[in-house]
Amino acid sequence: MPDIPRYDLHVSVFRCEGSAYLLRRTRNNRSDGSGIPDGKIVKTGNADLAKEIERLEKEEKRLEGELSRVNGMLHNERFMSKAPESKIAEERGKLEKYTQMMEQVKERLGQLRK
C-alpha cells in the first residue's frame, strides 16, 4: 500500500456570549512523523453548524457502508480460506481504522447536536 499523507480533521464547537464558534484543526500526519498543525476559529451561525452536521452525517453513512463491506469479507469463510494472509491483515487494519473513524464522527456529531 503506498504511503500517502493522511489529514486528520478535528472539529470542536464552543459558545461564548451567545455566539457559536467552530474550531477546525487539521494536522498533516506525514510518514516521517512531522505534522503540520493548522487551526482556525470561525464565528459561525446556525447554517454553518447545520452544514457541518450534514457533512458528518454523510461521512457516518459512508463509514457504515465501509464497515459493512469489511465485516462481510472477514466473516466470509471462502474469503478467509483462500485470501493471502497479507490481504486478511490489510482488511483487519481497515476494520480497525474505520471503527476509530466512526467513533470520532459519532463523538463530533454528539457535540454539535447539543
- Give dist(CA 43, CA 15) in Å, integer: 9
DSSP type of residue 35: E
Per-residue model confidence as pLDDT tens digits over 15-47: 555 555 555 554 444 444 444 444 554 555 566
Place of cell 512531522: 34
Residue 50 host element (H or E): helix 46-74
Residue 67: closest CA among 38, 25, 19, 105 = 105
Residue 57: closest CA among 114, 22, 6, 108 = 108
Per-residue model confidence as pLDDT tens digits over 55-113: 999 999 999 999 999 999 999 999 999 999 999 999 999 999 999 999 999 998 988 88
